[in-house]
Amino acid sequence: MSVEDLPKVELHLHLEGAAPPDFIRLLAGEQGVVLNGVFDAQGHYAWADFAGFLDCYHRACEVLTGPDEFRRLVEAVLAKSAHDGVIYTELFIAPHICGGGDRGAWFEYLDALYAGAAAARKAHGIEARFVSTCIRNLGPEAARLAAALSAEAAGPMLTGFGMGGEERHLAAADFAPAFDIAREAGLGLTSHAGEICGPGSVRETLDHLRPARIGHGVRAIEDPALVARLAVEGVVLEVNPGSNVALAVCPGWAAHPIDRLRRAGVKVTVSTDDPPYFHTDMAHEYRMLANTFGWGEEVFRDLNLTAIDAAFCDEPTRAAIR
Ligand code: ADE
Ligand code: ZN
């Protein structure tokens, strides 16, 4: 079996960031909206750096106007994941994108998201859970609101809380109250760190937000003591190599630290982040990792077991995907 055909577990996939450009264009057409500057001449998402990527992402979200658009998006995204061999995936969503932080709207969006996941399970057998996120650059108050809405919605389908957005904005400690609310509600915790900012950002995140998982975390490689800490504490990294190469976090695949982190005993997993923005998918990630680092089936099976153990799901689901 080629590694691309292995069953895969993905822990870090932004729902809106996984929207195919054709899907966004279809919605724009239905709504008579012109999305200037969102696409390049080839029809791909157009951005040049991390800030431009976040801007393009949120501009594309303008046509995700209601619960039904999100239901359709979940179905389309999970169909593509299943096609790439993914059997379990965690989708990052945000109360501030799904209903603008309004409580009533948020629960309507959640019903639609769960309906999309149920339809995808029925059609493709793929299992999904949702990780609700705050957006760092919206600030600590918005993060607390996002956490409170997530805590209220905690249940079998909404199983985690996290933080994405502009990592250079404020300090991790400013978001501790939000993470405390989510922890209290029993949600699994993850936060982006060590993607755009260096090891200090990962250390602060570990100290103040105390997540079980870190989104990216790859710049920890710049500090050997931090790498050792990640290994000792068993923190799981949701690594997105293709994203890191596309955003120039790493100069290329050969320079990517995932193999060095793994050899240092850090629990690494593989995901795609925002696949159409970075011209990737899970099969492509596996192919590139196998070609670049000589990883064979055993390494990928090991990575997937790490991901299953770190998944924010109940034990029967974990047993079913193991
Ligand atoms: N939101 C979507 N993708 C992201 C990324 N790679 N980093 C931070 N926030 C994000
Ligand atoms: Zn991400």
| Residue 68 within a domain | no
pLDDT of res. 294: 98
In sequence order, the 6+-apart residues with CB closer than 8 A to the CB of 121 are 127, 128
pLDDT of res. 173: 98
Residues 126 and 97 in one domain: yes
Residues 56 and 13 in one domain: no
d(CA 191, CA 214): 5
The CB density around residue 200, as the number of other CB atoms within 10 Å, is: 16
| Residue 161 within a domain | yes
**195 included as an active-site residue:** yes
Q: Which of 16, 75, 195, 238 is catalytic?
A: 195
Q: What percent of the chain has pLDDT over 70?
A: 100
Nearest to 258 by CA among 230, 232, 281: 230
Amino acid at 240: N
| Residue 24 within a domain | yes
- Expressed in angstroms and rounded, the spacing between residue 294 Cα and the centre of ligand 2 is 26
Residues 272 and 192 in one domain: yes
pLDDT of res. 195: 98
Q: Is 194 a pocket residue for ligand 1 (Cβ < 6 Å)?
A: no
In 125-198, alpha helices (H): 140-153, 176-184
Residue 248 has phi, psi (to 5 degrees) of 60, 25
- Expressed in angstroms and rounded, the spacing between residue 275 Cα and the centre of ligand 1 is 11
Q: Is 244 a pocket residue for ligand 1 (Cβ < 6 Å)?
A: no
The CB density around residue 64, as the number of other CB atoms within 10 Å, is: 20
- Expressed in angstroms and rounded, the spacing between residue 272 Cα and the centre of ligand 2 is 8
Nearest ligand to the CA of 18 is: 1
* Averaged pLDDT of the chain: 98
Mean pLDDT of 97-110: 98
pLDDT of res. 174: 98
Query: What's 275's DSSP letter?
Result: G
Residues 158 and 173 in one domain: yes
Q: Is 164 a pocket residue for ligand 1 (Cβ < 6 Å)?
A: yes
Nearest ligand to the CA of 163 is: 1
Residue 1 has pLDDT above 90, yes or no: no
| Residue 69 within a domain | no
The CB density around residue 248, as the number of other CB atoms within 10 Å, is: 10
Q: Is 136 a pocket residue for ligand 1 (Cβ < 6 Å)?
A: no
Alpha-carbon distances of 83 from 120, 125, 233, rounded to whole Å: 11, 11, 35
* Helix H or strand E segment including 131: strand 127-135
Q: Is 16 a pocket residue for ligand 1 (Cβ < 6 Å)?
A: no
Strands (E), 183-299: 188-193, 213-216, 236-239, 267-270
Over residues 30-85, the pLDDT tens digits come to 999 999 999 999 999 999 999 999 999 999 999 999 999 999 999 999 999 999 99
d(CA 78, CA 127): 9
Residues 48 and 98 in one domain: no
d(CA 124, CA 78): 8
- Expressed in angstroms and rounded, the spacing between residue 164 Cα and the centre of ligand 2 is 6
Residues 92 and 227 in one domain: yes
Residues 42 and 109 in one domain: no
Burial 148-175 (b: 16+ CB within 10 A, else e): bbbbebbeeebbbbbbbbbbeeeebeeb
Over residues 185-241, the pLDDT tens digits come to 999 999 999 999 999 999 999 999 999 999 999 999 999 999 999 999 999 999 999
Residue 134 has pLDDT above 90, yes or no: yes
Residues 46 and 99 in one domain: no
Residue 284 has pLDDT above 90, yes or no: yes
Residues 189 and 89 in one domain: yes
Residues paired with residue 161 on neighbouring β-strands, in sequence order = 132, 189
Residues 34 and 121 in one domain: no
Atom of ligand 1 nearest to the CA of 164: 9
Atom of ligand 1 nearest to the CA of 17: 2
* Helix H or strand E segment including 158: strand 158-164
Nearest ligand to the CA of 51 is: 1
Residues 49 and 180 in one domain: no
pTM of the entire predicted model? 0.99
pLDDT of res. 124: 98
CATH code where residue 109 lies: 3.20.20.140
Structural domain for 47, as ranges: 20-63
Residue 9 has pLDDT above 90, yes or no: yes
Q: Is 243 a pocket residue for ligand 1 (Cβ < 6 Å)?
A: yes
3-state secondary structure of 277: helix
Residue 250 has phi, psi (to 5 degrees) of -125, 145
User: DSSP letters along 41-70, please?
Assistant: TTSSB--SSHHHHHHHHHHHGGG--SHHHH
Residues 91 and 232 in one domain: yes
Count of structural domains within the chain:
2
- Expressed in angstroms and rounded, the spacing between residue 226 Cα and the centre of ligand 1 is 22
